[in-house]
Amino acid sequence: MTSAKLPPWLVLLLPAFIIILAVVAIPLVFSLYSSFTPYHLTRPDTLWKWIGGFNYIKAATDANFWKAFGRTVLLLTIALNTEMLLGLGLALMVSKVTRGQRALRTAMMFPMMFSPILVGFQFKFIFNDNVGLVNNALQSLGLTDIAIPWLVDGNLAMFAIIFAEVWTSTSVFAILILAGLFAIPQDPLEAAKVDGCTPFQSFRYVTLPFLMPFIYIAMAIRSLDVARAYDIVQVMTNGGPARRTELLWTLIGRTGYVDARMGYANAMGYISILMSIAFTVYFFLKLQSSRRELGMGD
């Protein structure tokens, strides 16, 4: 009697397959399925009721969903670009420091060490209209005699949220770009100097092209990871008031976990995945083209 033996490559890969199936593939398929049902967390029997594309049609025709979608794209665009510019500036400055650079690099990472919930509470207090730090400072300095509603006015509230997000995540860009700066070969920079380039020209035509792959990698990582800002938004405004700071994360989180309408929340989640894919593909294409420019191949 011969027992069927699995080929060694399959045996070796099997644990990985099982883990990926259990933690990624099955939950993904399950959540996709549930988006075609009226699944309500407190009524488990609703999971077995097929309603076709009802949830998708409902989300696609809901003005509040698309407003939240647009606001999320806006927040991503402003926050990521601001973080990139500030991170680039920070990295360039730190790279010039000759003494105490290690201490500076460590200090630069402090904001990353805070839990996003704590960051949310911290900035909620700072921007509180009545007892907050910003308003009290502005009033004490005589710059204003009104209580500026930082977390109420739509534009100011988005600014406050972006400010908190930029404060906590700029150092991610700075660290990655700093690594890029250390990896730049010195020959082209010295050649530029010999050729009489100004410092700006050296930066624009030599340093920056070398840094671009690092910047796009940082962008791609952050565009996927930026949803961690959910905690900050949840604590600071929870999408309000009057949906003025509603983002996809707060809307989907509330629908799924507070209202318990998990089927509908999953449908909204799948539509918004399109946005994540679009951002990632865009940054990946930019990364490829910048690597090609440097002759690093695809």
Choose one: 79-87, 213-221, 234-242, 279-287; the region binding other proteins (CB under 8 A).
234-242
* Least CB distance to other proteins at residue 241 (A): 4
| 228 SS3 class | helix
Q: Does residue 151 interact with other proteins by CB under 8 A?
A: yes
Q: Does residue 139 interact with other proteins by CB under 8 A?
A: yes
Task: Write down how long the chain is.
Answer: 298
> Token pair for residue 142?
């005589």
Q: Does residue 150 interact with other proteins by CB under 8 A?
A: yes
Q: Does residue 17 interact with other proteins by CB under 8 A?
A: no
Q: Does residue 152 interact with other proteins by CB under 8 A?
A: yes
Q: Does residue 294 interact with other proteins by CB under 8 A?
A: no
| 16 SS3 class | helix
Among 92, 104, 134, 147, indicate the residue that binds other proteins (CB under 8 A): 147
Choose one: 68-76, 100-108, 110-118, 233-241; the region binding other proteins (CB under 8 A).
233-241
What distance in Å separates the CA atoms of residue 174 and residue 88, rounded to the nearest whole number? 6
Q: Does residue 38 interact with other proteins by CB under 8 A?
A: yes
Q: How far is CA 60 from the centre of its chain?
A: 24
Q: What is the DSSP letter of 82?
A: H
Binders of other proteins in range 41-80 (CB under 8 A): 41-42, 44
What residues have CB less than 8 Å from 129, skipping those under 6 apart?
135, 147, 148, 149, 150, 151, 152
Decide whether 78 or 260 has the Cβ nearer to other proteins.
Answer: 260
Q: Does residue 31 interact with other proteins by CB under 8 A?
A: no
What distance in Å separates the CA atoms of residue 125 and residue 134, rounded to the nearest whole number? 9
Choose one: 11-19, 33-41, 187-195, 224-232; the region binding other proteins (CB under 8 A).
33-41
What residues have CB less than 8 Å from 275, skipping those under 6 apart?
69, 72, 73, 248
Decide whether 147 or 181 has the Cβ nearer to other proteins.
Answer: 147
Nearest to 243 by CA among 66, 23, 117, 13: 66
Decide whether 27 or 199 has the Cβ nearer to other proteins.
Answer: 27
**Alpha-carbon distances, residue 71 vs 119, 124, 250, 251 (angstroms):** 21, 20, 12, 12
| Chain contacts with other proteins (rule: CB under 8 A) | 38, 40-42, 44, 128-131, 135, 139, 145-152, 237-238, 240-244, 254, 257-262
